[in-house]
Amino acid sequence: MALQGSLADIALPDVIQLVSVSGKTGVFTLSAEGADGKIFIKDGQITDAIAGKLSGEFAVYEMAAWRKGQFIFTANIESDRVTVNKSNTSLMMEAARRLDEWRVLQRKIPSMDAIPFFLPREPGHDQITLSPQEWAIVTKIDGQLSIAKLEQATGLPAFDVCKVLYGLVTSGLISLRPGEEGSAAARSQAVPVGPSQRSLLALAENVRKLADDSVGLSGSIAVEKQYRVARAEIEAGGGISAVHGLVDRLARAISLLEGGDKAGEFLRRVNPLIEIGPTESKPQPKHS
């Protein structure tokens, strides 16, 4: 009997672990929101994977991030190629790290429907040096293609596209505007009233304490600097986005000072704090 279920009930890494321990051979077939993929396992070890245009370990990382959809495992089916050489443990650890990084990226890239566009630059501004991967994405930005379309146009994984765009947004080279679907949804929703300034200042203080725990005395000066920036933004009316920005900057600083594992641990501890519940809403004023 085939093993099957919903990705909403059990995450793919957990299913992989179950099949690996039993030493099974077969193929996982996955479907999620219009995307399909396959992961081949031989004697409990992943040997091959494909998801859209992606193959090998990058296809595994892509599918490990799917949170909705279905999977089915069919035993005794093997692939005639080997595209994955890492151990299952290494693959799942890297997949978990990428999921943590996704949470950071989503602070500035909330939707794959968003459309990147270039911001005007002052004459004589410093020349920008881009990596080959950044060039592959930048040359496709025309103010019309959504992030999802850029992924298709470049053939790069969504994670890599969003990571590059995150850097470009942070550097002020590009910005994002909602796609047609996002704009329609925004028009149909009420405008939320954010938490009070006092609550945001207390929240930023708690974020700072968690960051201090992650870096210790050696990184306390960097943490304090970012905290003061966020505090000034909150007092200037920056709202919850100022706290999100603080988390982004601290995660990057912790990653540089202590490594990705520490940054991931920081994000896991801080996320419950910044997931503020629904707030009172008021109708969006109409302009005459």
Identify the pLDDT of residue 199: 77
User: Does residue 288 register a pLDDT over 50?
Assistant: no
Identify the pLDDT of residue 127: 59
Mean pLDDT over 251-277 rounds to: 77
Which domains does the chain show, CATH number per domain? 3-98 (no CATH), 115-188 (1.10.10), 191-274 (no CATH)
- pLDDT-wise least confident of 53-57, 109-113, 193-197: 193-197
Residue 119's pLDDT band (cuts 50, 70, 90): confident
Identify the pLDDT of residue 263: 83
Identify the pLDDT of residue 41: 94
Identify the pLDDT of residue 284: 42
Task: Please report the DSSP string for the chain in residue order.
Answer: --EEEETTTS-HHHHHHHHHHHT--EEEEEEETTEEEEEEEETTEEEEEEETTEETHHHHHHHHT--SSEEEEEET---SS----S-HHHHHHHHHHHHHHHHHHTTT---TT-EEEEPP--TTPPPPP--HHHHHHHTT--SS--HHHHHHHH---HHHHHHHHHHHHHTTSEEEE--HHHHHHHHHSPEEPPPPHHHHHHHHHHHHHHHHHHH-GGGHHHHHHHHHHHHHHHHTT-THHHHHHHHHHHHHHHHHHH-HHHHHHHHHHHHHHH------EEPPPPP-
Residue 283's pLDDT band (cuts 50, 70, 90): very low
Mean pLDDT over 148-177 rounds to: 86
**pLDDT (tens digit, 9 = 90+) per residue, 184-204?**
544 444 444 456 777 788 888
**pLDDT (tens digit, 9 = 90+) per residue, 122-131?**
555 555 677 7
Share of the chain above pLDDT 70, in %: 85
Higher pLDDT, 234 or 25: 25
